[in-house]
Amino acid sequence: MAMKDKTYITIIALSGILLIVGIVYLAVTTDVFAPQNDTDVEEIIIPEFEPIPEQSIDCKICHTQPEKETKHVEGGIYCEPCHGTDLHDLHIKETTANLSCVVCHGLEPIIPEKLPGHDMVCDTCHDYPDAIQPSYGNIITIHMTRGYSCTICHIQDIQSIHINSMNSS
């Protein structure tokens, strides 16, 4: 066997070893080889809490303009704790919004971008009444126009909310 042949055989053997190591690494660190099973749809569950009996005061008695509160107007950063980070599961599955890809990505596929100065791409949609228009993260518009009250986010009793608010200011 010539020296040239040994070099080629060595290169082929090393390439094969690298290929096997790469496949093993992918199999161990990702689920790329796992069978895709659409029946295991992870459902998004927004927790429901028992009403607190002594808490029958309407928030709007004191908080007359919650829609102007900065944390509400720029509330896009609060989406993930309830809705998660997998945008595709939130939007395209039959058990959720069931949107077509074109709604977000257009006819000439693009990746939706965050609005200037915003941290979440969620802010580019979810307005009311047209959910495809930007909400700019206004969580009052997003939730209250769809029938959710303040307690969808503010789940503590009134006293705790106000004590925490006074301590943080």
> Looking at residue 15, what is its pLDDT?
94
Q: What percent of the chain has pLDDT over 90?
A: 7
Q: Which pairs from 149-154 meet CB under 8 Å and 24+ separation?
A: 149/59, 150/59, 150/63, 150/66, 151/49, 151/51, 152/46, 153/78, 154/59
Residue 20 and residue 64 share a domain:
no
Residue 163 within a domain = yes
Residue 48 within a domain = no
pLDDT tens per residue across span 36-70: 655 554 555 555 555 555 556 677 778 888 878 88
Residue 51 within a domain = no
What pTM does this model have? 0.53
Mean pLDDT of 109-113: 86
Mean pLDDT of 94-116: 85
Indicate the number of domains in the chain: 2
Q: What CA–CA distance (Å, rounded) separates 149 from 55?
A: 13
> Looking at residue 54, what is its pLDDT?
56
> Looking at residue 111, what is its pLDDT?
87
Mean pLDDT of 149-167: 77
Residue 124 and residue 74 share a domain:
yes
Mean pLDDT of 64-83: 83
The 3 state secondary structure assigned to 6-41 is: HHHHHHHHHHHHHHHHHHHHHHHHCCCCCCCCCCCC
Amino acid identity of 31?
D
Residue 75 and residue 2 share a domain:
no
Residue 37 within a domain = no
Residue 70 and residue 1 share a domain:
no
pLDDT at 1 over 80: no
Residue 22 within a domain = yes
Residue 139 and residue 72 share a domain:
yes
Mean pLDDT of 92-104: 83
Domain span including residue 118: 59-80+114-168
pLDDT tens per residue across span 114-142: 888 888 888 888 887 888 888 888 888 88
pLDDT tens per residue across span 4-43: 788 889 999 999 999 999 888 888 888 766 666 555 545 5
Residue 47 within a domain = no
pLDDT at 168 over 80: no
